[in-house]
Structure formats: structure tokens, C-alpha cells
Amino acid sequence: MYRVIRFCGIGMIFLSFSWAVLKSSTPSQQRPAFAKAVGLYTDGKFEEALKFYNTAVLENPNFIHAKRGRARTLMQLGKDQQALDAFNEVLSLDPNSAVSFANRGILEDRMGLYDLAIEDYAKAIKMDPQLGKGLDWFTRFLQNREEGGQTLSERLEALRSQKKN
């Protein structure tokens, strides 16, 4: 009986590892422009990343992750109105994306559209309370980000208190 359980356990580990490898390699092979865009965005090369996000969207117009990446990249480049239009498109296609509401809220906040930012921040935090707490230490480490700045919840409260005054 022990040998059967051990065999099944080892087999399941092997199968899950194989599945993970297969799933992680498939998108890059099928969507090379998107994979390149993500790498460039991560490296802070936003102009180049935007070109590859645009290519990825042209290759597959229904690929929401490419559209979301394009919106974030436009925001990083300071192309605020284009970024806002892009986030609106993403949210019309994926209205359950808490991260997209949070990002659009950040953009609206930066543009001075505080009432809209308050709405989007509140919606994002309601959909995913973890977003209000900010990035955890491990994510900051992986993305090479420093700690600091306001969390989404803190910014939401600051905007609400400014509105009252």
C-alpha cells in the first residue's frame, strides 16, 4: 500500500510540474509580442513596450492582458487621455478587474479628476481588499520597488477628507 501511495504522490508531483512548465511556456510562444512588451515594461522601457503592446493587440484584438498592459504603459508615459481611453476600453471588456479600477483611479487622481478617482479607488478596494493595503514585501522585492508612498486606502481617505473641507 505504501508503494502505491508513494508512486501516486511522485506521479502527481511530476504531472503538476509538467503542467506548470507547459502553461508557463505556451503564452510566450503563442504571443511573442506580448511577452516582449511585458519584459520591456518591467525594465522601464515604456516607449518600446508600447510598440509591442500595440502589436500584441493588433495580433489578437480580444487579448485583454495586452490591452491592460497598453493602458498601464500609456499612463507611465504621461499620455493621460490616451491611457484613460485605454482603461475605459479594458473595463468595458473586463468589468471585474479590480486592478484596472485601481490603475484608472490612480490616473484620474493624477489628472485631477478626484471624484472619479474616489469612485474607482473605492470600487477596487471593495472588489479586492488586498489592493488597499499596498504591495507586500515579496512583490516589492521581485519588482525591485522601494517601500513608501500612500496605500490605496490611505489615498482614498485623503481624497475623501479633502472633499469634505
Where do the domains of the chain lie?
Answer: 1-30, 31-164
pLDDT > 90 fraction of the chain, expressed in percent and rounded:
53
Q: How far apart are CA 76 and CA 110, in angstroms?
A: 11
Return phi, psi of residue 112, to 5°.
85, 10
- Grid cell digits, residue 149: 508612498
pLDDT given at position 94:
94
DSSP per-residue string spanning 22-86 = HHHHHHHHH-HHHHHHHHHHHTT-HHHHHHHHHHHHHH-TT-HHHHHHHHHHHHHTT-HHHHHHH
Q: How far apart are CA 140 and CA 154, in angstroms?
A: 18
Q: Which residues of 62-80 are buried (b: 16+ CB within 10 A; e: fewer)?
A: ebebbbbbbbbbbbeeeeb
Residue 165: DSSP 8-state: -
Give residue 163's pLDDT band: very low, low, confident or very high (50, 70, 90): confident
pLDDT given at position 14:
78
Placement of cell 508503494 in the chain? 3
CATH number attached to the domain at 31-164: 1.25.40.10
**pTM summary value:** 0.74
pLDDT greater than 70 at residue 139: no
pLDDT given at position 31:
78
State the average pLDDT over residues 152-157.
84
DSSP per-residue string spanning 123-164 = HHHHH-GGGGG---HHHHHHTT--S-S--HHHHHHHHHHHHH
Neighbours of 55 (CB within 10 A): 16
